[in-house]
Structure 1
Amino acid sequence: MPSVISFLLASPWANFPVTILLFYLFGWRAFLFIIAAIFIAITTGYIFMFLESVNLIEKSKSVELKEKFSWKDFKSMSLKDSFLGIIYSIWSITDMLAWWSIIGLLIASFIGAFVPAHIFSRFFGPSILGLLATLAFATIIEVCSEGSAPIAFELFRKTGAFGNPLVFLLAGVATDYTEIGLIWTTIGKKTAIWLPIVTVPQIITFGFLFNYFVR
């Protein structure tokens, strides 16, 4: 169970396509996003291991392989079928991510064109209240990681605060109501409830530190 939570937290920001996008938008600062995401994922995993040991979350389910289980069917797959399957998967993923990226770019363009900079400086500035407002904004906006990156960059461009985009990106995963709902139904309600409780304080802390030490 803890490994699943760590994967859900790290995968949106430590995967290759989003890494390229973050470096394109934020330059060397993208390293900080990735390091923070991995750190929070690992620490959260250890915390969930402790919670599991004291029965505060659902226990991990053990999986037993059947005696008749065999890799024969997998090994017998032809190279042609494997290649076609890879091409189909690439196309399906690209088609899905492209639309999310377009949505994110449209939202970022709308913000850049119609939302005055002083609004962002006032409500989403480098302060605790600004971080909490960013947290609330990230919870409401339901956009995948590829779509969130352009919005986060626009937030950074408007405010000059690096911690707020970090909170927007990472908290968007930790407080994503669809993801929490999925964890609630597939893993258990205790795990779903503990996810934001464990992760949000870490994210706010990183955001606070980045606002004061990263320019």
Structure 2
Amino acid sequence: MSTHQHQSGCCPSEVSQKPVHSHDDGGGCCPPKQKVDWLLWGSAALVAIGFALSFVPAPLPGFVQTYADGVYELVTRMWWGVLIGLVMVGLLSKVPREFVLSVLGRGGSMTGLVRAVAAGVILDLCNHGILMVGAKLYERGASYGQVVAFLVASPWNSFSLTLVLVALIGLKWTIAFIVFSMAIALITGFVFDALERRGMIAPNPNSADLPQDFHFWREAKAGMASVRWDGAFLVDVAKRGVSESRMVLRWILFGIVLAVLVRAFMTGDMFADYFGPTLLGLLATIGAATIIEVCSEGSTPLAADLITRADAPGNSFAFLMTGVATDYTEIMVLKSVTGRWLNALLLPLITVPQVLVIAWFLNMGA
């Protein structure tokens, strides 16, 4: 029996007679020791230090004060979207895949893309919280075209930020921005689905067919009745939300650090002062939006300044959309989720030309 335990039992704690070394080389049944995620914990430490320094009453040395203020601003703007994203990821982990497929529709179809775009517009989350949900939708079987359409349509099209945008730039421009952003999201998703059908990008390995006898409301009613809304359920949702969002949190925290470092050399006023309604100004706006990580709450007032102070509505639209299409956090998350650089890098290659054309049109029509 002892020989059997040594071969089929797992870790050294289960076989206390003598140490077991066979698991060290990865060939045993013990899981390999996980490596420290230095990017995650290093970025988290730098953000925590900057946030703590922002509460120091005495003035800090120039760059340190800029760094602390920048971290404080971004964290206080982003925390609610990240928190809601964590909760939604935790809840989605409890939802069977069939429900997600039923709501989003069949991947590779126009109906599925329209539903994904509508979900992105309706969902009230910032671009950092929405990344967590998009990654979870991919895991739950949504097609890559649907995920991309969902992400492109989402970040600043939330209900609350739409109201802010109406107050800042007026109803006409707000409606125009929403319509054009939905069109870009729909076209981009369609292109990705076409590339998948042609075999140029790999399909989602998590995809599955919806059972023919699946009835959404009947299954939903039965599922809700079986849920025990107690403390254990809420704790499990929180744990799942955090554990399954580590990949996204890593890039969000790194994005905060990088954004604050860049902000030390490029202020928001530069957008309004130097990015006018010319081709050069439009290209400069897209370049700046690519470099600087600005969350949806921060991009909305800056985009409004490009209309009210620079008289460049196309630049304003480009700033909002390019921040989504070229956002390095989003690109890295897509690469991590799909495991392919091609899938991630195609996002800016497909969306930015569309943004340029529409932005130029808006500037000429202003």
TM-score between both structures, scaled by the size of structure 1: 0.75
**Candidates 207, 211, 214, aligned match of 2:363:** 211
For the pair 1:175 / 2:338, whether they are aligned, the reply is no
Partner deviation per Cα, 1:89-140 (whole Å, 9 max, x = no partner): 9xxxxxxxxxx9xx9xxx8xx645xx596xx3xx411122211110111011
* 1:172 to 1:213, Cα distance in 2 relative to 1, 3 A: same
Deviation larger for 20-29 or 37-46: 20-29
Name the structure 2 match of 1:7: 150
Looking at structure 2, the residues matched to 36 and 44 of structure 1 have their Cα atoms a distance apart, in angstroms, of 12
Counterpart pick for 1:48 among 162, 174, 192: 192
- Pair 1:60 & 2:204 matched: yes
Match of 1:93 in 2: none
CA separation in 2, counterparts of 1:81 and 1:116?
49
Aligned pair in 2 of structure 1 residues 81, 11: CA closer, same or farther (>3 Å)? Answer: farther
Cα drift, residue 81 of structure 1: 5.5
Instruction: Tell me if the contact between 2:275 and 2:285 (Cα under 8 Å) persists in the aligned partners.
Output: yes
Which ranges in structure 1 are unaligned for 5 or more consecutive residues?
A: 90-99
Instruction: Trace 1:41-190 onto structure 2 (pairs within 5 A).
Output: 41-61=185-205, 62-63=207-208, 74-77=224-227, 111-112=268-269, 120=273, 123-187=274-338, 188-190=340-342
Q: Greater CA deviation, 27-36 or 55-64? A: 55-64
Q: Which residue of the partner structure matches residue 92 of structure 1? A: none
Distance 2:189 2:268 in 1: 35
Alignment partner, residue 20 of structure 2: none
Q: How much does 1:207 deviate? A: 0.5
- Shift in Å, 1:24: 1.4
Query: Once superposed, which parts of structure 1, at least 4 consecutive aligned residues long, lie more than 4 Å away?
Result: 70-73
Partner-residue secondary structure (3-state), 2:199 = coil
CA contact (8 A) 2:277 2:312 kept: yes
Work out the CA distance in 1 between the residues paired with 2:314 and 2:189.
23
Rounded Cα–Cα distance in structure 1 between residues aligned with 2:288 and 2:346: 21
Give the Cα–Cα distance (whole angstroms) in 2 for the partners of residues 179 and 206 of structure 1: 22
Equivalent pair of 2:299/2:320 in contact (CA under 8 Å): yes
> Which of 163, 177, 181 is 1:33 aligned to?
177
More helix per residue: 1 or 2? Answer: 1
Q: If the length of structure 2 is used for normalisation, what is the TM-score?
A: 0.45
What are the superposed Cα offsets for residues 168-202 of structure 1, whole Å, 9 maximum, x if unpaired? Answer: 00000000001001101112221111111100000
More relative contact order, 1 or 2 (CA 8 Å, 6+ apart): 1
Mapped contact 1:58–1:190 kept (Cα < 8 A) = no
Q: Does the C-alpha gap of structure 1 residues 170 and 116 become closer, same or farther in structure 2, counting only changes over 3 Å?
A: closer
Instruction: Give, in angstroms, the shift of residue 60 of structure 1.
Output: 2.2
Identity %: 40
Give the 3 Å change call, closer, same or farther, for CA 116–145 of structure 1 in structure 2.
Answer: closer
Task: Answer whether contact 1:183 1:191 (CA < 8 A) is retained.
Answer: yes
Amino acid at match of 1:126: P
Show the counterpart of 1:97: none
Contact 2:313 2:359 in 1 (8 A): yes
- Aligned-pair CA distance for 1:75: 2.2
Shift of 1:73: 5.6
State whether residues 167 and 204 of structure 1, in contact with CA within 8 Å, keep that contact through their aligned partners in structure 2: yes
Tell whether the 8 Å contact from 1:13 to 1:37 is kept in structure 2 after alignment: no
List gaps (5 residues or longer) in structure 2: 1-143, 211-218, 239-255
Distance (whole Å) between structure 1 residues aligned to residue 320 and residue 147 of structure 2: 19
